[in-house]
Structure 1
Amino acid sequence: MKRMDVLRPPLPSLPLEGGCHCGRARYRVRARPMAVNACHCGDCQRLAGAPFGVYLHVAKAGFEVTSGQLDLFRRTGGSGNQISIYRCRHCGTRLWHGPDVAPDLIILCAGTLDAAGWAIPTSHIFVEEAWPDAVAATDALVVEAFTTTRAALWDHFTAIYGPG
């Protein structure tokens, strides 16, 4: 994976808001994100329709759906654990997912934020599956497979942005 220097924008003020493509499903994030993570696994490539998915890790207690109807899809992740994926019932936009092994965590699709330009990944996982032209910021944590813990991703986010 190539590395490059980036000038990280500051974290935006809370709350963060976002929603689906058609605008019917909307959410609000009132808790500071714990990570901005890029996942390069084959599942995320397919689900995102892109070289990788970019996600915010957010405490479920700081997240609320403000409007819209959602569909829930269940699937087994590469880890073998069950994942609940939430999509807008009307346009099908994937908004977030939640792993059963971490019921207090929302893994929010960063591209669904109203203003996502600040969300430069502070960590990259499953980089052994990354496309040849993948790039990570020089200060980002880069992990093959998922040989670390979510807490390590959160600690690295805090190391970059400071304690919240």
Structure 2
Amino acid sequence: MIRADIARPPVPSVPLHGGCHCGAVRYEITARPKAVNACHCDDCKRLSGATFGVYLHVPKPALAVTSGTFDTFRRTGGSGHTIPIERCTECGTRMWHLPDAAPDLVILCAGTLDDPSWAVPTSHIFTEEAAPDAVAASDALVIEAFNSTRRALWAHFDRIYSVSS
């Protein structure tokens, strides 16, 4: 994985807003994210249609869906846990994951934010599966196999972004 000095914009104030491609699904996030994480696993590559996925870890009570309906696709992750993935019923945009192993957490697809420009990953996981030209900010936590915990990703996010930002 290539390391680079990347300008890291501040985390915007809440609420954050977002939605699907067609506009049927709209949401609001009312709490600061716990992390901005990039996942380089083969599943995330396929699900995102890109070489990795970028996600916000958000406390589930902080996600308010203001419009739209969902289809739920359930897949089994490498851990053996089931991961429901919610998509807009109208356009199919993947909105977020609701991991059974973490029922109080939403793994929100950063690209669905109205302004995702600030969402520079503070952590990268499954980098042993990363594309050869994958780039991580020089201050990002980089983990080859996800043999850590979400709390480690959250702690690193907190180290990069002070609570006051």
Q: Scaled by the length of structure 1, what TM-score is found?
A: 0.98
Partner of 2:112: 112
Instruction: Specify the SS of the correspondent of 2:12.
Output: coil
Structure 1 residue 43 displacement after superposition: 0.2
1:10 and 1:118 in contact (8 A); partners too: yes
Greater than 6 Å deviation, 4+ residue runs: none
| Number of residues of Structure 1 aligned to a counterpart in Structure 2 | 164
Instruction: Specify the SS of the correspondent of 2:85.
Output: strand
Structure 1 residue 98 displacement after superposition: 1.1
Partner of 1:16: 16
Partner of 1:163: 163
Structure 1 residue 37 displacement after superposition: 0.1
Aligned counterparts of 1:78 and 1:16: Cα–Cα separation in 2: 30
Partner of 1:40: 40
Structure 1 residue 79 displacement after superposition: 1.4
Partner of 1:55: 55
Partner of 1:73: 73
Aligned counterparts of 1:163 and 1:155: Cα–Cα separation in 2: 11
Q: Is residue 129 of structure 2 the alignment partner of residue 129 of structure 1?
A: yes
What RMSD over aligned residues (CA atoms) do the two structures have, in Å? 0.7
Partner of 1:139: 139
Q: Structure 1, residues 59-103: CA drift from partner, whole Å, max 9, x if none?
A: 001111100111111110121110010000000000000110100
What runs of 5+ residues in structure 1 fail to find an aligned partner?
none
Q: Structure 1, residues 37-64: CA drift from partner, whole Å, max 9, x if none?
A: 0000000000000000000000001111
1:75 and 1:84 in contact (8 A); partners too: yes
Q: Scaled by the length of structure 2, what TM-score is found?
A: 0.98
1:60 and 1:104 in contact (8 A); partners too: yes
Aligned counterparts of 2:118 and 2:98: Cα–Cα separation in 1: 23
Structure 1 residue 163 displacement after superposition: 2.6
Q: Structure 1, residues 94-134: CA drift from partner, whole Å, max 9, x if none?
A: 00001101000000000000000000000000000000000
Partner of 1:6: 6
What runs of 5+ residues in structure 2 fail to find an aligned partner?
none
1:30 and 1:63 in contact (8 A); partners too: yes
